[in-house]
Amino acid sequence: MPRVFFITGTSTGFGNHLVQEVLDRGDIAVATARKPENLSFKNTTDKNYLAVKLDVTKKADIDSAFKAAIDKFQRVDVVVNNAGYGLSGVFEELTEQQYRTQMEVNFFGLMEVTKKSLEVMREQKPPGGVIQQVTSIGGQRGVPMFSIYCASKWAVEGFTEALSKEIKLEWGIKLTCIEPGGFRTDWAGRSMTFPEKRHPAYDHIDAKANMTKRHGTQAGDPKKGAKAMYEFAIMKDPPLRVVIGTDAYKAIMGKVKEYGELYPKYEKLSNSTDVDGYQAPN
């Protein structure tokens, strides 16, 4: 039976390519966007495609989008939380509204879509499904000029890992954090937001100039990234975390090495703080 994919943020980038990949593989795509009337894909029919309005910061949109998907296709097998955007600038240049909006879209919106996904997947017959959280290699390491963006993605990572330990095995629901590196999407182009004013103390960092220079030179091909995301979605036992992109792979292996050297260095002091006579439970 064809799988039903529910994908957020399908106007551009990974989401857009993933919808086409789903259709090309013979599965069903529910493509969501704030302006679904602007979406266009090849080989769509009434039986394999549905475009739905969805602003992930509006719970009513989330509920109605899932209802539309269930009404038309009776179930949802894969949810891809792809909606989000980049906010680049040194921390002291950013306004409170900018970092609150970043968290509303990248984290709180994702949480609400995840909550609805769990309800749908748990109650459908048979139960089960896959929820992919599109985070970032910036969800595993701090990147200069992306403090709030990284904060939003680290939050998704921690939330998803904790959630994965709460779900009953019999529900058959799997979660995966997809951690991309740099890809040639619109993320670093028209989708990127920057500070309204420069801070004089940070004359050594120009986020807008840096990102403009980088845009279009990244290693990653978004179409290939979408293919990888599809492959992870259809795995029988998908991983909780996985990077996509050669730069992301190199970065995460460097992080693993860094952790492996850091924590043992302070092992004695770290383990010196227990109550005298304390015995760890079995």
Question: Would 278 be classed as within a structural domain?
Answer: no
From 85, 149, 202, 278, the catalytic residue: 149
- In the 8-state DSSP scheme, what is residue 107? I
Q: Is the pLDDT of residue 252 over 90?
A: yes
d(CA 82, CA 15): 6
pTM to 2 decimals?
0.93
Q: Is 149 a catalytic residue?
A: yes
Strands (E), 91-168: 129-134
Rounded average pLDDT over 198-221 = 80
In angstroms, the CA 154 to CA 238 distance is: 20
- Structurally, the chain folds into a number of domains equal to 1
One-letter amino acid at 59 equals K
Whether residue 277 is contained in a domain is answered as no
Residue 192, pLDDT above cutoff 90: no
When pLDDT is averaged across residues 233-248 and rounded to a whole number, the result is 96
pLDDT at 196: 85
Q: Quick one: which of 201, 97, 188 has its CA closest to 143? A: 188
The CATH code of the domain that includes 130 is 3.40.50.720
For residues 281 and 79, give the distance between their C-alpha atoms in angstroms, rounded to a whole number.
Answer: 38
Higher pLDDT, 212 or 4: 4
Task: For residue 190, give the DSSP letter.
Answer: T
Q: Is 146 inside any structural domain?
A: yes
pLDDT of residue 206: 80
Residue 187 has pLDDT above 70, yes or no: no
pLDDT at 226 over 70: yes
Residues 6+ apart with CB under 8 A from 240: 160, 161, 164, 175, 176, 177
Domain assignment present for 27: yes
Using a pLDDT cut of 90, give the percent of the chain over it: 83
- Rounded CA separation 20/261 (Å): 43
Q: Is residue 25 part of a domain?
A: yes
pLDDT band at 188 (very low <50, low <70, confident <90, very high): low
Task: Give bridge partners of residue 116 from the DSSP assignment.
Answer: none
State the pLDDT at residue 173. 98
Question: What value does the mean pLDDT of the chain take?
Answer: 93
Confidence of residue 172 (pLDDT cuts 50, 70, 90): very high
Q: Is residue 176 part of a domain?
A: yes
pLDDT tens digits for range 40-85: 999 999 999 999 999 999 999 999 999 999 999 999 999 999 999 8
Say if residue 210's pLDDT is above 90: no
For the segment 99-120, the average pLDDT, to the nearest whole number, is 97
- In whole angstroms, give the CA distance from residue 45 to residue 29: 10
Q: Identify which has the larger pLDDT, 200 or 125.
A: 125
In a domain, 55, yes or no: yes
- Give the domain range for residue 268: 4-272
Q: pLDDT per residue over 110-136, tens digit each? A: 999 999 999 999 999 999 999 999 999
- Domain assignment present for 281: no
